[in-house]
């Protein structure tokens, strides 16, 4: 009985649904640091474990889709970005504005720019604000963070291959606000203080209004 339950749970984790915690601010304000998401692997097809092969999915990423992908510099990590263009399309950024096939794109509703500077293309990190034009090769996608001035994405490390697309996020099932006053883990002796602090501030740190929100 227990073995069957564990098998079903493992199969669900590998092929259907997966929990994901947002660790960085690169997708603010669409999702926030400390949001916990449920992602759907069936949308783009689940990866067969220990391979780069996808089982058939319901479709391919479309412009505007938030997607979880494997980080190119460390494929053991998974990151959340937004797909903005796909195979065969030409992407260009001019003075922070993204163009796809020569047409200006519409920024996601909760995206933002936090740096008023516009970096010239020839400057260090100038691709943040001025990039391309570059045509996306077959089987690849251009992904970018909604926090446009504070995101490590395709502008810096290139296009994402289809086999590195993991899942599509669906909704927030829990949200835990960062707290700079929370004790820092410094070994087993600090664990009681951390637990006590979080229990005491539990209702303040949970962002109740975000629970159940759909990811758009």
Ordered domains of the chain (ranges, CATH): 2-210 (2.10.109.10)
Q: Show the CA angle centred on residue 171, arms to residues 194 and 155, nearest 5°.
A: 90
CB 138 within 8 A of CB 103: no
Cβ neighbours for 63, distance < 8 A, ≥ 6 positions apart: 83, 84, 85, 86, 100, 105
Rounded Cα distance, 77 and 80, in Å: 10
State CA 1 to chain mean position distance. 36
> Where is 93: in which H helix or E strand?
strand 90-94
Q: What is the pLDDT of residue 14?
A: 54
User: How many residues appear in the chain?
Assistant: 216
Q: CA nearest 169: which of 65, 70, 98?
A: 65
Residues 30-80 have pLDDT tens digits of: 999 999 999 998 888 877 777 777 777 778 999 999 999 999 988 889 999
Contacts of 16-25 spanning 24+ positions with Cβ under 8 A: 16/40, 16/41, 16/42, 16/46, 17/41, 18/68, 18/166, 18/167, 19/173, 20/68, 20/78, 20/80, 20/167, 20/169, 22/80, 24/79, 25/147, 25/150
Torsion of CA 118, 121, 123, 124, to 10 degrees: 100
What was the pLDDT predicted at 4? 60
CB atoms within 10 A of CB 47: 20
pLDDT of residue 8: 43
What confidence score (pLDDT) does residue 58 get?
A: 79
Residue 40's nearest CA partner among 168, 215, 216 is 168
Contacts of 138 (CB under 8 A, 6+ apart): 87, 88
Q: What is the pLDDT along the chain (216 residues), one digit of tens a residue?
A: 666 655 544 445 555 678 899 999 999 999 999 999 999 988 888 777 777 777 777 789 999 999 999 999 888 899 999 999 999 999 999 999 999 999 999 999 999 999 999 999 999 999 999 999 999 999 999 999 999 999 999 999 999 999 899 999 999 999 999 998 888 888 888 888 889 998 999 999 999 999 999 999
What positions carry a catalytic annotation? 26, 81
Q: 18: helix, coil or strand?
A: strand
């Amino acid at each position: 009985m227990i073995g069957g339950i564990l098998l079903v749970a493992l199969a669900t984790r590998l092929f259907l649904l997966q929990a994901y915690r947002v660790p960085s601010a690169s997708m603010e304000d669409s999702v926030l640091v400390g949001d916990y998401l449920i992602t759907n692997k069936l949308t783009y097809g689940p990866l067969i474990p220990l391979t780069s092969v996808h089982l058939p999915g319901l479709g391919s990423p479309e412009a505007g889709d938030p997607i979880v992908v494997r980080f190119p510099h460390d494929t053991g990590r998974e990151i959340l970005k937004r797909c903005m263009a796909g195979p065969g399309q030409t992407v260009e950024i001019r003075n922070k504005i993204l163009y796809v096939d020569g047409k200006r794109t519409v920024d996601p509703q909760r995206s933002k720019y936090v740096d008023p500077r516009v970096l010239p293309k020839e400057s260090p990190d100038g691709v943040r604000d001025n990039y391309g034009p570059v045509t996306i090769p077959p089987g690849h996608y251009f992904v970018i963070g909604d926090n446009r001035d504070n995101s490590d994405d395709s502008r810096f490390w290139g296009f994402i291959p289809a086999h590195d697309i993991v899942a599509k996020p669906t909704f927030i099932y829990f949200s835990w606000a960062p707290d700079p006053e929370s004790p820092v883990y410094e070994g087993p002796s600090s664990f009681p203080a951390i637990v006590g602090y979080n229990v005491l501030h539990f209702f303040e740190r949970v962002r109740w209004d975000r629970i159940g929100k759909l990811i758009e």
